[in-house]
Amino acid sequence: MFDKNYFLTVLNRNAEATLDMVFKNGKEVEAYTVHIADHNNGVVSALLYPDNLAKMFEEMEHDYERMYEQIRYMLLTTSKPQVNNLTSWDFVKDKLVLGAQKKSEEQIIKQGMLDLDIYVRLILNGNMSCKVTKDHVMMWGKTENEVFEKAKENAMNLQTATNFFAFVMDLQGIPEELAPFFGGNDPDAPTIIRYDNMPHGAGCICLTEIFNKLCEQYNTNELIVFPSSIHELVVHKKEESITWEAATELVSAINAETVDWDEQVVNHAYGFKKKKNQSFLFIP
């Protein structure tokens, strides 16, 4: 069994490390804060989560020293952005997006929506990102609202809506000519909403314009929104054959069977209703 306290000792033999409580997806969890000296880039820092390391512990045949060496290698060879540039608004402004998580007391730049926090995230590359705090905002010389609105603008530009079956076909390498056999051309197929080549696309849930367009596409005034993970949403038109209870049971089942807890958004579905003068998301 992975001994988190012993591994802390191993980390401190070779680096500087502490085991603290941090927020992850709106939930307080334990994490190692590790600082490793790099002769070329000063000090490289990272958060490591005991739950993830327990899996690595098994893969490394219970060898703590080997684990550390593997972690050190990954951290020191990962492409790193120029840290000095992070103080520049011009450098970060186009790297801000919106993420979605359960409501929490986490001190980040966010706005509440139903039972969610829609928060600002800085994405440097596919492996490196962080939630934006008040300290970031002060460093950039902007207001919280200016930063949030810029992230929302970027989110709108980055969002992509794809036929769900066509998306699955692409993942599995199925040729386009077979689309009719897999629902890839079905206009009533569910739609997957995410960011284009970027994680944390569930933040699109606050972009009303997307859902209004889907209502027009499906020729309906009501949608079901499935928060399948923090990275994407699945949307389908509301039909009499699909009850809200069944929709929520589906989200719960997907979370339980296929989505790690730290990548779950909530355990229920949302509804979206388009009216003449107002469109809104709601919890059924």
Distance CA 270, CA 247 (A): 9
CA angle 60, 77, 196 (to 5 degrees): 100
The answer to which of 6-20, 90-104, 176-190 has the lowest mean pLDDT is 176-190
Of the candidates 13, 47, 17, 46, the residue with the CA atom closest to the CA atom of residue 30:
47
Highest mean pLDDT: which range of 16-25, 35-44, 89-98: 89-98
For residue 266, what pLDDT is reported? 95
CB 81 within 8 A of CB 42: no
CB 275 within 8 A of CB 264: no
Residue 142 is which amino acid? Answer: K
Confidence of residue 29 (pLDDT cuts 50, 70, 90): confident
Confidence of residue 185 (pLDDT cuts 50, 70, 90): low
**Angle of the 4-14 helix axis to the 50-59 helix axis, nearest 10:** 80
Q: How far is CA 176 from CA 55, 164, 180, 230, in A?
A: 37, 14, 9, 28
Distance CA 204, CA 181 (A): 30
Reduce the DSSP state of residue 36 to 3 states and report it: strand
Instruction: Give, for 134, the enclosing helix (H) or strand (E).
Output: helix 134-140
For residue 94, what pLDDT is reported? 95
Strand 232-237 and strand 222-229: the pairing is antiparallel
Better pLDDT: 44 or 28: 28
**pLDDT above 70 as % of the chain:** 87
DSSP class per residue in 230-267 = TTEEEEEE--TTS-HHHHHHHHHHHHHHHS-GGG---S
Q: Which tens digit of pLDDT belongs to each residue from 231-281? A: 999 999 998 888 999 999 999 999 999 898 889 999 999 999 998 888 999
Q: Is the pLDDT of residue 172 over 70?
A: no
Confidence of residue 159 (pLDDT cuts 50, 70, 90): very high
Residues forming a β-bridge with 273: 222, 280
Q: Which tens digit of pLDDT belongs to each residue from 138-153? A: 999 999 999 999 999 9
Confidence of residue 79 (pLDDT cuts 50, 70, 90): low
For residue 90, what pLDDT is reported? 93
